[in-house]
Amino acid sequence: MTAHQQERAGGRAKHHRNVRARVARAVVAWLAGTVALAGCGDTEALIGGAPRTPEEAIRIVPENGARGVRANRRFEVRVPEGRLERVHVTRTAGAGRQPVVGRISPDGMVWRPVAGPLRPGTTYTVDAVALDGAGHRATRRTTFTTAPPVHRVTGSFSPQGDATVGTGLIFSMVFNRPIADRAAVERAVRVSAQPRVEVAAHWFGRRRLDFRPRDRWRPGTRITVELRLRGVKAAPSAYGTQRRTVHYRVGRDQVSFIDAARHTMTVRRDGRTVAVLPVTAGDAENPTYNGRMVILERHSLTRMDGGTVGFGGEYDIPDVPHAMRLTRSGTFLHGNYWARPEVFGGLNTSHGCVGLKDIKGGGPHTPAGWFFAQSIVGDTVIVQNSPERLVAPDNGLGGWNLSWEQWRSGSALH
């Protein structure tokens, strides 16, 4: 080949290389443009054929950010195709956060909570992960808040906690409205003790729930009451609101025996007699209840008006000293400064209460003053030999007058 022919052949080769280079650049540019267009949406979703956005890939009801959601609203996590890999749900009310137990369907496409309806006044957080048919992963987080309860259910009790109580204390809650689902409410109240003893619940009607052990608490026992009522459906459109823990410490064991026939009260502490005091109990027309009672509350001075307990205007004493309530119906063990001295230990003259000798204003060294100083809420008082009937178990903390079998039969869980 001549030099001229070689030069022409080299030119043609260079031309072909340039053409191939231009074609290659064009292909690259076309591919880049395709990718750039896909980048305006979700490349992975477009190539895999899955929805373009997490909202489409994972559908959650109620919707993200919803407020005032009804408690009976449907709650679920769903994927239109593929499967749910993981769903984690928590609920927050107040300072606490709890997981919500749920279950993914066998086909992997739906998650629903295991336990009933949503809780009112609660914020829910949902974290979900799903895989499409091509193995591409999508994640989504949402939150929503349920509406506050239409009717709030609360229970009152006394003492409020962190108190030293007597061995006869029965923990008693009185609710502000009737409870339809007593089992659900009972499960949400837990009373335990250290050292451990069996504690059982007993319902008195639909508003009152009491807890006690088989026998009186041992001195030194620490009682823990856990209220987990917030969000518990107690009745149609009525939900609990309380969530707290209460502690009590049981003090020494004091039991006082009142003999209405002998007009005496024998005070025993830790099994030893520490005093025998003269008393005056209810008269023949208004005898004092027999049976076991518990000191519910203590007042240095209080007013006693016969009109509030069905005695009309028979008495109204504005300054009764050293008064300790034994029943809700109005039985007190209290100081008495208006009766003659010979009444104490000799006659029963009251309208059903038990009186101890005292002075106006309450003297610390009188029989009433001494006993008041020695007593605490939860101490046991037993009245014997009175012509009156046995005090009802729901009158004050009279539950000790029921046998253990009778007490346990009043639980909604047995």
Mean pLDDT, to the nearest integer, of 133-161?
91
> Quick one: how far is CA 56 from the chain centroid?
39
Question: Which sign does the torsion angle of CA 63, 64, 66, 71 carry?
Answer: positive
Cβ-contact 211, 173 below 8 angstroms = no
Coil, strand, or helix at residue 406? helix
Both 247 and 258 in a single domain? Answer: no
pLDDT at 35: 34
Query: Which residues, in sequence order, are CB contacts of 222 under 8 Å at separation 6+?
Result: 193, 194, 247, 248, 249, 250
CATH number at residue 353: 2.40.440.10
Considering the domain architecture, whether residues 266 and 384 belong to the same structural domain is answered as yes
299 is catalytic: no
Contact 30, 122 (CB under 8 A): no
Question: What digits encode the pLDDT tens for the residues 385-410?
Answer: 999 999 999 999 999 999 999 999 99
Mean local confidence (pLDDT), 232-242? 90
Residues 263, 322, 334, 351: which is the catalytic one? 334
Examine the domain organization and report whether 235 and 314 are in the same domain.
no
> Rounded to the nearest 5 degrees, what angle is found at the Cα of 215, between the Cα atoms of 279 and 388?
35
Domain count of the chain? 3
Least confident of 54-63, 93-102, 225-234, 378-387: 93-102
pLDDT for res 33: 39
Distance CA 323, CA 220 (A): 26
Structural domain includes residue 94: yes
How far, in Å, CA of 7 to CA of 24, rounded?
26
Amino acid at 101: V
Confidence check: pLDDT of 121 > 70: yes
pLDDT tens per residue across span 25-70: 443 333 333 333 333 333 334 334 545 689 999 999 999 999 999 9
Tens-digit pLDDT profile for residues 305-357: 877 666 766 778 899 999 999 999 999 999 999 999 999 999 999 999 999 99
- On whether both 385 and 324 belong to a single domain, the answer is yes
Per the residue annotation, which of 299, 353, 365, 414 is the catalytic one? Answer: 353
Average pLDDT of the chain to the nearest whole number: 88
For the purposes of burial, counting CB atoms within 10 Å of the CB of 356, is it exposed (0-12), middle (13-18) or buried (19 or more)?
A: buried
How many residues would you count in the chain? 414
Enter the tokens of residue 100: 């919500």
Of the residues 251, 272, 290, which one is the last residue of a structural domain?
251
Domain of residue 167, CATH code = 2.60.40.3710
Residues 128 and 187 in one domain: no
Looking at the fold, whether 168 and 302 belong to one and the same domain comes out as no
In a domain, 238, yes or no: yes
In a domain, 45, yes or no: no
Domain for residue 30, yes or no? Answer: no
Are residues 205 and 243 located together in one domain of the fold?
Answer: yes
Domain that includes residue 173, residue range: 151-251
Is the domain of 328 the same as that of 389?
yes
Cβ pair 185, 179 in contact under 8 A: yes
- Residue 15, domain member (yes or no): no
Do 128 and 164 lie in a common domain?
Answer: no
Q: Which pair of structure tokens corresponds to residue 115?
A: 């336990």
**In this model, does residue 303 exceed pLDDT 50?**
yes
Torsion of CA 364, 369, 374, 376, to 10 degrees: -120
Q: Is 262 a member of any domain?
A: yes
Identify the CA nearest to 189 among candidates 138, 246, 260: 246
Report the alpha-carbon distance of residue 92 to residue 53 in Å, rounded.
Answer: 28
Question: What per-residue string of b and e applies to 130-167 under the rule 16 or more CB within 10 Å gives b?
Answer: bbbeeebebebebbbbbeebeebbebebebeeebebbb
Q: Are 145 and 269 in contact (CB under 8 A)?
A: no
CATH number at residue 97: 2.60.40.3780
One domain for residues 157 and 140: no
> Does a structural domain hold residue 25?
no
| pLDDT for position 79 | 96
Domain end among 251, 281, 302: 251
Q: Which residues pair with 224 in a beta bridge?
A: 192, 247
Mark which of 109, 130, 145 sits at the end of a domain: 145
Catalytic residue check, 40:
no
What pTM does this model have? 0.72
